[in-house]
Amino acid sequence: MTRPIIGRVAPERWRTNGATAPGQRTVGEPGTARIAVDLLGGDQAPAVVVDGALRAAQADPSLHLTLVGPAEAADAVLAALDPPDRQRITTVVTTAGTVRGAAHAVAEGRADALVSAGDTGATVLSAARELGRWPGVRRPALAAVLPTAAGRLVLLDVGSSVDPDEEALLVHARLGSAYASIVFDLKNPRVGLLTIGSEPGKGDRLRRSAPALFASRPLPSGARYVGLVEGGDVVLGTAADVVVTDGFTGNVLLKGLEAGYALTGPPKPGTTLPPRAAVLLGVGGTVVVCHGAATGSDLAAGIAYAADLHRRASVAAIADLLRYSEVSHD
């Protein structure tokens, strides 16, 4: 069973700050964004999710929220909003399967994107079942943006696929290259494979066998494989623009760096930290996953991130770049 990718628009209608179709110019109109929010996702849910949803709704008058969860949690958001703003809130009352309910709202066209701070595995599974996967993507990847001394870097996977093989890592390299190209307008992104040393042959079996595959297959947007990189290269950002690893290692690295940045600030003084959230690449819609320990501010930033990705048609543009036009529910 296949169907078109949600959010697909004609190239001339892309609202993106990233790559454009030949001869087209970008349009920066805000537009409405309808975000389905999993009210029971997160260590401190639903209170922290209610806080985040309220902050997001108050900050963005063009934002519409579909709150999926217990009635009392949704009512707490409604009660805190002015009457005119309550019209931008829709509720789906349930106490079980909230993340799948939110994904279903996107699949049915009642929402444009999904945000959850719940269990990563449940979120990925719900997104894959409800929205489908892109052809050839057996394991969708969570891509996070990290600040570096040189600017910013895309790290993936950060928690979705903890035990990938070489082919899965290559697919993730393609997804990350397309994401960097479309969202950040990076020309010829440099792709590195994370391991314990930059010399050839460093690392476990997977890290020793994957480089030959990376070097032999083309990557989108003129991206090029630049070899093995270490953890320090992720902080410096001078060796690669996209760093690929398994979800276990990526999640450990991400949480360690975020804790460090919270204490000392970003590697480049004066820069703003990206949202503590990751986009799920390889499924047929816009899905943003926040940390289980997310604060209300983190949830609000994740919702804003999902709204921005939708408004710029980023997921559809990435799919177009990779020549994916449909998703599969097999």
Q: Quick one: CA dihedral 55, 56, 61, 63, positive or negative?
A: negative
pLDDT tens-digit profile, the chain (330 residues): 445 555 544 333 333 333 222 222 233 345 899 999 999 998 989 999 999 999 999 999 999 999 999 999 999 999 999 998 999 999 999 888 999 999 999 999 999 999 999 999 999 999 999 999 998 898 999 999 999 999 999 999 999 998 999 999 999 999 999 999 999 999 899 999 999 988 888 888 889 999 999 989 999 989 999 999 999 999 999 999 999 999 999 999 999 999 999 899 988 888 888 899 999 999 999 999 999 889 999 999 999 999 999 999 999 999 999 887 666 666
Give dist(CA 213, CA 93) in Å, integer.
47
Neighbours of 310 (CB within 10 A): 26
Name the CATH superfamily, with its identifier, for domain 139-275: Isopropylmalate Dehydrogenase (3.40.718.10)
- Domain positions in the chain: 30-137+282-330, 139-275
Strand-pair partners of 328: 2, 133
Which residues have a Cβ under 8 Å from the Cβ of 9 and sit 6 or more positions away? Answer: 313, 316
Q: Do domains 30-137+282-330 and 139-275 have the same CATH topology?
A: no
Query: Which CATH number applies to 30-137+282-330: 2.40.10.220, 3.40.50.1010, 3.40.50.970, 3.40.50.10950?
Result: 3.40.50.10950
